[in-house]
Amino acid sequence: MSIDNLSCNKSFGGWHKQYSHRSETLNCDMRFAIYLPPQASGNQKVPVLYWLSGLTCTDENFMQKAGAQRAAAELGIAIVAPDTSPRGDNVADDEAYDLGKGAGFYVNATEAPWNRHYRMYDYIVNELPELIEATFPVSQQRAISGHSMGGHGALMIALRNPERYCSVSAFSPISNPVNCPWGQKAFSAYLGKDVQSWRDYDTSILMRNAEQTVPALVDQGEADNFLAEQLKPEALDAAARAREYPLELRRHEGYDHSYYFIASFIEEHLKFHAGHLNH
| Phi/psi at 39 (5° precision) | -70, -20
Among the listed residues 148, 167, 169, 175, the single catalytic one is 148
Among the listed residues 59, 83, 224, 237, the single catalytic one is 224
Q: Is 98 a catalytic residue?
A: no
Is residue 190 a contact partner of residue 111, using CB atoms and an 8 Å limit?
Answer: yes
Is residue 142 a contact partner of residue 164, using CB atoms and an 8 Å limit?
Answer: yes
- Least Cα distance to 200 among 163, 156, 250, 244 occurs for 156
Pairing of strands 216-221, 167-171: parallel
Cα dihedral angle (90, 50, 25, 140), rounded to 10 degrees? 160
247-252 sheet: strands from edge to edge: 3-11, 14-23, 28-36, 78-82, 46-52, 138-147, 167-171, 216-221, 247-252
Q: Is 257 a catalytic residue?
A: yes
| Three-state SS at 196 | helix
DSSP 41: B
* Dist CA 16 CA 109 (whole Å): 31
Three-point CA angle 247, 172, 240, nearest 5°: 25
Is residue 273 a contact partner of residue 279, using CB atoms and an 8 Å limit?
Answer: no
Among the listed residues 16, 152, 257, 269, the single catalytic one is 257
- Least Cα distance to 227 among 188, 201, 254, 209 occurs for 254
Q: Is 148 a catalytic residue?
A: yes
- Least Cα distance to 140 among 126, 151, 150 occurs for 126
Catalytic residue numbers, as ranges: 148, 224, 257
